[in-house]
Amino acid sequence: MSDVEILRYAAFSDDPAGGNPAGVVLAAGALSEPEMLAVAAEVGYSETAFLTGARGAGVFRVRYFSPLAEVPFCGHATVAAAVALADRHGPGPLTFVTNAGEVRVTVDGRRRATLISVGAKVAELAADDLTALLTALRWAPDELDPALPPRVAYAGAFHPVIAAATRERLAALDYDVPALKALMEARGWTTVQLVWRAAADRFEVRDPFPVGGVYEDPATGAAAAALGGYLRAGGLVPDDAVLHLAQGDDLGRPGRLTVTLTPGEDGVRVTGTAVPIPE
């Protein structure tokens, strides 16, 4: 669609070759759902953010599409869209009205954005679902970290959280794409948050995303927020923890995400930079 201005940003990195690339359409009010899906497929990134209308000063309706489907919330495309707006209009506070609810975002003068997710929640992962998930991932039960039990976490989208006992297990990602895609579609999961705890406040993470037509997401803000909610709900970190996530290293697109928990705040803060990707 040649008449649509499509911006491209790398989120959670200060290098266009790092982080997670996202498409951004700042003036998408005239686009239909099929047209937005077609644009997202043309862009080919894991998500493209579409600002379909302003609802007041600094308030925008935002929708997110992968190449295959709409998703309720996407963290890296939120960061990309917020920084794109800041590049056009200057830094400051924003509110994105998403399918998952209102997400507040603040951008500073260094292209650094902090989003506050919708309220986080955590649920048990059914035994049958865990078995099916591990089978699709080709992981064995004894390869899991017993200190971080499997759960389903939500902070705008649903993500199973599965913790590897070793970095080697996390590095060897080779899953059954059709099986995992079918399971995720049946359960309404957006990505699978695979983690390895490198230190008390540091995690390395990977996110398979077959339901979006992408084998792996290089840096995933929505899953980072869900992970923060999971760790808080399980008493696995302090209530005021600041966590550092490394993602994308295995793909050659390193990204860095900061997750901040604030006592009394239901949402989870996720911070990262974004930079334009040259044409």
Active site residues: 47
| Vertex 12 angle, CA 251 and 241, to 5° | 110
Using DSSP's 3-state secondary structure scheme, residue 265 falls into coil
* CA of residue 159 relative to chain centroid, distance: 10
* CA of residue 278 relative to chain centroid, distance: 23
68 contacts 46 by C-beta, under 8 angstroms? no
C-alpha closest to that of 75 among 115, 48, 21, 17: 115
Residue 126 makes CB contacts below 8 A (sequence gap 6+) with: none
Q: 42's torsion region: left (phi>0), alpha (psi -120 to 50) or beta? A: alpha
Secondary structure element (H or E) that encloses residue 11, with its range = strand 7-11
Distance CA 135, CA 180 (A): 9
